[in-house]
């Protein structure tokens, strides 16, 4: 009984923190079904009192090419995720298993890239993309992010925990590098691969500044840029803006809900090495 009573303050604090975090999400969901009368009411209402407005989603899709921008975000995030997984697996395998001169120094270079803010390299990346004539193209949105130092670091730590006996047995059986990686190594570190994939997809989906710089037409912009265009100073419709925001949040929310165990398992793999 005393132990239970000692835990009561902890649970109360956690409950308050949970309510504070979930309040904006709950209001966004409720607000996406509100009309102007509910959005602009004073005092503010937290629930649709004048009926549920399902047409907010239709208005959001009709105001801007939100469907095309949604598809752009899915394609861009998927390509970036695939690129980061491939490059991270190959680089991490080289750092973990291959004997090469200066391996630790090269790995330190990869770690240094994690300390450089993304904003610090936006101008060099923009100049490179512009000089290559790729402005307002899908390649401009994907190419600068197909490799990540964090992914190399995460997978290297997971690979270091792989049993050396299995590696030696595969080598004796004549398995080459690609065969060993595809058939033996990746199935063992599947949680880490899944965690990196989810992390990469979330980061690519939520990009705002870079797509804003390299895209010029609404048809090539991503959904993060599109939902900002729903807001008009002359005719502001809060319900429509929240409906578009809810559409943009759905994929990331689904990934976090269904993939949270994979994220925890993947990020903690190799922590006891």
pLDDT of amino acid 265: 67
The mean pLDDT value for 200-216 works out to 92
Is residue 270 predicted with pLDDT exceeding 70?
A: no
pLDDT at 269: 58
Q: What is the mean pLDDT of residues 73-102?
A: 92
pLDDT at 200 over 80: yes
Please determine, for residue 66, whether its predicted confidence score (pLDDT) is greater than 80: yes
Domains of the chain: 65-268 (1.10.3720.10)
Kindly tell me if the per-residue pLDDT of 272 is higher than 60. no
Mean pLDDT of 222-242: 78
Of 160-164, 211-215, 245-249, which one has max mean pLDDT? 211-215
At 235, is the pLDDT very low, low, confident or very high (cuts 50, 70, 90)?
low
Phi, psi of 144 (to 5 degrees): -65, -5
The least confident of 47-61, 211-225, 258-272 is 258-272
Mean pLDDT of 170-186: 86
pLDDT at 273 over 50: no
Overall average pLDDT of the 191-200 stretch: 90
CA count, 13 A, side-chain hemisphere, 273? 13
The residues near 41 (Cβ < 8 Å, ≥ 6 apart) are 49
How open is the CA angle 243-137-139, to the nearest 5 degrees? 105
Nearest Cα neighbor of 85 from 135, 18, 150 is 150
**pLDDT reported for residue 268:** 63
Average pLDDT, stretch 110-126?
A: 88
Residue 233 pLDDT grade (very low, low, confident, very high; cuts 50, 70, 90): very low
Q: What is the mean pLDDT of the chain?
A: 86
Q: What is the mean pLDDT of residues 53-78?
A: 87
Distance of alpha carbon 125 from alpha carbon 258, whole angstroms: 34
Q: Determine contact, residues 259/200, Cβ cutoff 8 Å.
A: no
Pick from 184, 135, 176: nearest CA to 159? 184
Residues whose CB is less than 8 angstroms from the CB of residue 204 and which lie 6 or more positions away in sequence, other chains included = 76, 77, 80, 81, 145
Q: What is the dihedral of CA 217, 219, 222, 223, to 10 degrees?
A: 120
């Amino acid at each position: 009984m005393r132990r239970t009573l000692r835990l009561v303050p902890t649970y109360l604090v956690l409950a308050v923190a949970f309510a504070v975090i979930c309040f904006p999400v709950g209001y966004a969901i409720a607000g996406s079904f509100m009309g102007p009368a509910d959005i602009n009411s004073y005092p503010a209402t937290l629930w649709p009192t004048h009926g549920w407005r399902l047409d907010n989603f239709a208005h959001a899709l009709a105001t801007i090419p939100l469907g095309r921008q949604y598809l752009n975000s899915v394609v861009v995030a998927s390509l970036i995720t695939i690129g980061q997984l491939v490059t991270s697996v190959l680089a991490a395998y080289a750092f973990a298993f291959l004997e090469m001169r200066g391996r630790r120094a090269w790995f330190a270079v990869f770690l240094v890239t994690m300390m450089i803010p993304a904003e610090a390299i936006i101008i060099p990346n923009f100049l490179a993309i512009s000089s290559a004539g790729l402005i307002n193209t899908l390649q401009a949105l994907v190419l600068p992010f197909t490799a990540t130092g964090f992914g190399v670091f995460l997978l290297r730590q997971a690979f270091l925990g792989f049993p050396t006996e299995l590696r030696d047995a595969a080598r004796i059986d004549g398995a080459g590098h690609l065969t060993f990686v595809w058939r033996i190594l990746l199935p063992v570190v599947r949680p880490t691969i899944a965690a990196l994939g989810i992390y990469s997809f979330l980061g690519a989906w939520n990009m705002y500044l870079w797509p804003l710089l390299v895209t010029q037409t609404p048809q090539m912009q991503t959904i993060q840029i599109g939902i900002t265009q729903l807001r008009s100073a002359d005719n502001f419709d809060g319900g429509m803006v929240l409906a578009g925001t809810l559409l943009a949040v759905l994929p990331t929310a689904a990934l976090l809900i269904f993939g949270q165990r994979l994220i925890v398992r993947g990020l903690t793999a190799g922590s006891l090495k």
